[in-house]
Structure 1
Amino acid sequence: MNEAGRPLAAVLVPPGETSVLPSVFRAWFTATGVHGRYLLLEVMPEDLEQVIAALPKAGFMGLHVAPAYQHQIMDVVDIITDRAALMSGVNTIIFRKDGKFHGDNTDGYGFIENLRQSVPDWNPKAGPAAIYGAGRAARVVVTALMEVGVEEIRIASRNRPKAEMLRHEFGSRIKVFDWLKAGNLADGAGLVVNATPLGREGMSEFRVPMDGLAPGAVACDLTINPPDTRFLRQSAAYGCRVADGVGMLLYQAAPSFERWFGQRPPVDDNIRQALMT
């Protein structure tokens, strides 16, 4: 606790970077009645270890970590969960009572929980999964899908060597497609995921042909700004059920709130609205 008796948490970001998480946590504090605070801390990369070491004594219960620092943080924490190791990054730190720093990654949980809540009858066995992109976000999705038993995961990336690295690391369930043939990725797929920056505000639109999508398939875009992307609109036009990136962000953050503040926060329309304002 800090001197005002309020438990604290924060998100660590590089200088100049912003985050929607403080808005989400403020809404959760109101919804749960928890008397806590959640801050945005801008930290230089060379200062991460020193800053993190000082925070428990200042009343912090734990931290979120921006994507830019998630791999580097693995060298700072004392304990790393298996899923964080597989995802090659820590997005959540819990300051334990024994003084240890516990590093976890809840992104995979957030991705799967968002699918299950958005499309309750989603079946991991309902055909291959198709992922556009091969960066850190795609690694999260691959790890999560393999854990729930998806039998074939197709990947197409503008950086083919990255996709090949995922196939080398995760094995024969990964099938790599050339980006020039990315339009074939969705043929017969039960799930399609945009894990690229395409469609994000300030980026080019996602323009891969999607006519191979089967009605009833599930489409997920990890972008939160905007939440209603061209990828999702196009998928819905083909009869797909969709899950946006906002839900994934909320469901990955909810377990951290519970660990730090002792209550499971709601994920509902009021919280979604708080994120977008």
Structure 2
Amino acid sequence: MADSRETFVNQAFVVGYPIKHSRSPLIHRHWLKSFGIEGSYERVAVSPEDFEAFIAALKTGASGFCGGNVTIPHKEAACRLADAPDALAEELGAANTLWMEEGRLNATNTDGIGFTASLDAGHPGWENVDRAVILGAGGASRAVVQAVRDRGIGEINIVNRSMERAVELADRFGPAIHAHPMAALGEVCEGAGLFINTTSLGMDGEAVDEMPFERLLSSAVVTDIVYVPLMTPILKQAEAKGLATVDGLGMLLHQAVPGFEKWFGRRPVVDEELRNLVIADMEAHA
């Protein structure tokens, strides 16, 4: 007997404003094709003033969608409007994955899961360190801080131009998190085994000031959530110092896995075929 999950046509979305540059459809359509699932995944541009109505139509079934991804600027509103945000989304105050289940709109945030899964694939054992440094305290850093904390790293130092934002993250995520100004970057790098850039520094290849990577452990891992270009200036600096690096593309790919499984009933894998597909798209639009 055929698996009904493969014959029933589910429709999913990625919603944001703007949304035309999202690579999520490329990822999910690849998986739909790989599994032979008769489903769909599409971009939906929704302005902030129309987002509540979009969610209402999702809840009633009028939209025809079973769930989807949420990106900027709607993640906070998605968490607030969901009927059942999980513990990850509630602590972050933001959701990026929605699905209907038993008449209720459920929400989670898979950014942190995607980040740690990417590191697990790129450098197994990365979490076996005492101290981590996270550069940046913007919206993108929240899920990273949460995920690194939840993997058991005992001391996490957030360095940011605005101390106020770094302190807010330290207050939100508990006693393992410490806030520092940019002037302290060299000091907190001393003896750290993990360095994470969550800022837009180096995006599109722009020059970046020299990082004090010589003060990290020689076994340290340096990673960057920026993935255009794949080898960012920060990763190039780390590589020049002989440090292990993990690029940011894996986070994009791995964060998509839980949502696909919720909407289409099959758990996909992140493999070289998918990675190469997305890299080709990046190069085509460079």
The answer to whether TM tops 0.5 is yes
Distance 1:206-1:194 versus aligned 2 partners, 3 A rule: farther
Alpha-carbon contact 1:108-1:144 (below 8 Å) kept = yes
Q: How does 1:192-203 map to 2 (within 5 A)?
A: 192-201=195-204
| Partner secondary structure for residue 201 of structure 1 | helix
CA distance in 2, matches of 1:160, 1:231: 22
Q: 2:21 aligns with which of 18, 22, 35?
A: 18
Aligned to 2:115: 111
Q: Once the two structures are aligned, what percentage of the paired residues are identical?
A: 36
Partner residue in 1 for 2:259: 256
| TM score, norm. by length of structure 1 | 0.92
Q: For the aligned residues, what is the CA RMSD?
A: 2.0
CA-to-partner distance for each residue in 1:201-233, whole Å, 9 max, x for gaps?
276535433221222211110012222111112
Structure 1 counterpart of 2:125, from 110, 118, 121:
121
> Residue 102 in 1 paired to residue 102 in 2?
no
Inter-partner Cα distance in structure 2 for 1:206 and 1:60? 45
Could you tell me which residue of structure 1 aligns to residue 284 of structure 2? none
Q: Give the drift of 1:172.
A: 2.6
How many residue pairs get aligned? The number is 273
1:267 paired with 2:245, answer no
Deviates more, 1:151-160 or 1:12-21: 12-21
Alignment of 1:31-46 (within 5 A): 31-46=34-49
- Quote the Cα distance in structure 1 between the aligned partners of 2:19 and 2:65: 22
Query: In structure 2, what is the equivalent of residue 162 of structure 1?
Result: 165
How has the CA–CA distance of structure 1 residues 231 and 63 changed in structure 2, closer, same or farther, with 3 Å as cutoff? same
Label 1:20 to 1:207 Cα distance change in 2 as closer, same or farther (>3 A). farther
Q: Which residue of 2 aligns with 1:184?
A: 187
SS at match of 2:212: coil
Q: Letter of the aligned partner of 2:243 in structure 1?
A: C
Kept in 2: contact 1:164–1:176 (CA 8 A):
yes
Amino acid at match of 2:90: A
- TM-aligned CA deviation for residue 67 of structure 1: 3.1
Provide structure 1 residue ranges, at least 5 long, that are not aligned to the other structure. none
**8 A Cα contact 1:115 1:243, kept in partner:** yes
User: Which residue is equivalent to 1:81?
Assistant: 86
Pick from 65, 83, 95 the counterpart of residue 90 of structure 1: 95
What do the CA deviations read for 1:97-125 (whole angstroms, capped 9, x no partner)? x2211011111111111111111232x24
CA distance in structure 2 between the partners assigned to 1:216 and 1:11 by the alignment: 38
> Does the aligned pair in 2 maintain the 1:215–1:240 contact within 8 Å?
yes
Q: Is 1:28 the counterpart of 2:31 in the alignment?
A: yes
1:60 is aligned to 65
Q: Is the CA contact (8 Å cut-off) linking 1:67 and 1:91 kept in structure 2?
A: no
SS in 1 for 2:189: coil
Change (3 A) 1:204 1:237: closer
1:174 correspondence with 2:173: no
| Contact 1:11–1:66, Cα closer than 8 Å, also in 2 | yes
